[in-house]
Amino acid sequence: MSVEVHLSGLERWPHLVPLAPDVRRAARAALATAAVSTGELSITFVADEEIGRLNREWLGHEGPTDVIAFALEGEELAGDIYIAPDTAGRNANALGIGPDEELLRLVVHGTLHILGHEHPDGEDRYEAPMFTLQEELLRGLTDG
């Protein structure tokens, strides 16, 4: 597969730097679910303030969120994923899971959105095919 996966912003969270290979592996696992042969995927880790701004400007929602994904138009796959590690950490704590697991879940989630997968809002999202695939991929990444 020749989809380039670019990472940026990890240096702002030094404890996440060792996770970089796993982040790329999570993105590639999600990419492998589609017939994608070429393209570029950018994954940027941002502060809550930055993702809050993106959330407001592009989605019309107030406050920070954990992940936002933008698929770019073109013949090849192209997309930008923004992840807020601090929000992800709070969510992981509330769910009683490790922050690394939650970050990998968000990478898979964002990548699936880039591939065109969607889910409903609210509690129904957890029963959506996208979430089933996301959790299946995550188990494959964390079970071995």
pLDDT digits (tens, 9 = 90+) for 76-133: 899 999 999 999 999 999 999 999 999 999 999 999 999 998 887 777 777 788 899 9
- Is 119 inside any structural domain? yes
- Is 40 inside any structural domain? yes
- Is 131 inside any structural domain? yes
Write down the pTM of the prediction. 0.93
- Is 55 inside any structural domain? yes
Query: 62: Cβ–Cβ under 8 A, 6 or more apart, which residues?
Result: 52, 55, 56
Average pLDDT for residues 3-11, to the nearest whole number? 93
- Is 66 inside any structural domain? yes
Phi/psi of residue 87, each to 5°? Answer: -65, -45
- Is 6 inside any structural domain? yes
Longest dimension (CA), the chain: 41
- Is 97 inside any structural domain? yes
Cβ count near 57 (within 10 Å): 9
Amino acid at 112: L
- Is 144 inside any structural domain? no
Which stretches does DSSP call E strand in the chain? 2-8, 38-45, 67-71, 77-83
Q: What is the number of domains present in the chain?
A: 1
Phi/psi of residue 98, each to 5°? Answer: -75, 145
Average pLDDT for residues 53-66, to the nearest whole number? 94
Tell me which residue range forms the domain holding 44.
2-139
Query: Which CATH number does the domain housing residue 21 bear?
Result: 3.40.390.30
Per the CB < 8 A criterion, the answer to whether 102 and 91 are in contact is: yes
